[in-house]
Structure 1
């Protein structure tokens, strides 16, 4: 009886792991659908007259089509499908009843073997979930920060993988690409095709901004467009005063989360023209933007913020995979 209970428990644990994985995967799909719907709504607003012409053409086409499927045929089809579904459910119940560990009468040796196998299966399932983590991490790219773009109060590490605020204004060349008001720095590399994923460690920080940007983001002066997400050139998530906000085009989207994350992921999909921010600990999506098509290459962009009397002194660190530095594409 004890072994049987252990086997049942392993199956329940597998079920819990798979249910959580399903929840995370569906959350990604829901977020992407919302982003795509938002992008479509914007596109429809910008192209109202074109949509009206398309609707008129579709209406004309509908009138010209022959109605080859009658209501009776449809009901017959649905009735047949319902009958087939009932038969499938009946067969499924039979299979489930036969596969129920409680209903199996085993000798002790065989029971021990099954328990061992279920332990192996549980470990395998746990190691492979969430599935979305495996998928997104397969697109991990190496990114290094460009010190020639960093605000003079930011210190970029020699390895180029972190940025830290300093109270000292460093005497650096006033290059055209250097931010002189906002505490920003962008990556040396840029991408314009494919799928790319980056993770940033924000452990212990009380304020930060991170995201992606076109190379055309303004670098000089106090204009709001220099801030990440405040213009049409960049997309970001901001953490400030315990609250998270997604920004693009100067429009804030307040996120209904309160957890203080240790790692934030950025998934950039040039195929779909989308960028998704997510909690890298469990791969739950925070917010997605869908542009359809990006008009330029994208750099990773960071703002570690002021130290706030020592409460925000830690750096933002890019968690690069161990691989050679990539070329821009």
Structure 2
């Protein structure tokens, strides 16, 4: 008995199931769990991590904790004779009843006393069982919340890694483009890389703050869960006395679901889009200018963009891209990096011999809900050409059309969106609509390219 009292029951309880250890195993971080509890916990997650400290391990990192198993077996053997029941402070009798009116434990003498006249009673173990059932439902909510926060934190971890990868890839592209512009462009190159670094640091700091916030919420939830679990293992009378307080604390600790961070990725288009054209303005030389730059933060995972962000191709491989809110996840599409809410705009798209493509504009950019947002587009489905819009308009076009290039012309104020074949100068279709939101160019195809426009320097002569 003395050996048992030196080691409280809670020290022999698994942090996962809150019961006495069964076949305990230990991790190198010194935390122990039931063998089956740890394996089930790992099966439910993508990574093998300690449920308490979150340290990650390989699948064979758990070893049998023989000493702890022997302690648990000895404890279970002594357990039936080890308990001591709490007695009534007024009558010295065991508290075996529970007063349903006063919500307090009582003894058999209390039951017949005037204080409890006409009161209803039930066995104290039944009352404790009812309260435990109610508190377990609250505990389940907290545990589900913890899973949500764990999942969002994992997404944040992956996003932070992708930010670094984006920054490294973008820096490489910037270096390659500036290499072609000779020593004269050295100062400009330094400025633009510095801007990229500043954005990487700023957005990494934002994501780290988000991760720290998730970690604090997870820690708070974990602390509350552990406290509730300790109370659930306590004596019935002690548990009942502290039940209301621990329940209120558990309910107060139930936070709202975390939100994913929008706009957290590096704005690659800002650094690479029309890069040579913007530098050309300083050099006064002829450079390539593309009116639409594809946004890699919106591209579907099965589409691969070129380094200069003006062409795409289909890929059967699925790269590890973060599931950021801007990215298409249902339709294999990509948006232009800039939207338009005024003026006139035009861009040419080379679709080549592709028999499946869609070119147009949309008002929103989340793939799973794109069909419910404003969109106006020209579709080619295996040689069947149609003009479609979000108002369920579907206008069949001539099947004799075989355009290799599509010219898109937008007049936002006049509410016109026109499609034509610039090679044959053939008008294809014109939508008329009163636009009220910013419109983004949208593309869907296995391969296409945004064509550059001809740009030249014109020096005005004064007479």
TM-score (norm 2): 0.35
Determine which structure has greater relative contact order: mean sequence separation of CA pairs < 8 Å that are 6+ residues apart, divided by chain length: 1
Larger Rg: 2
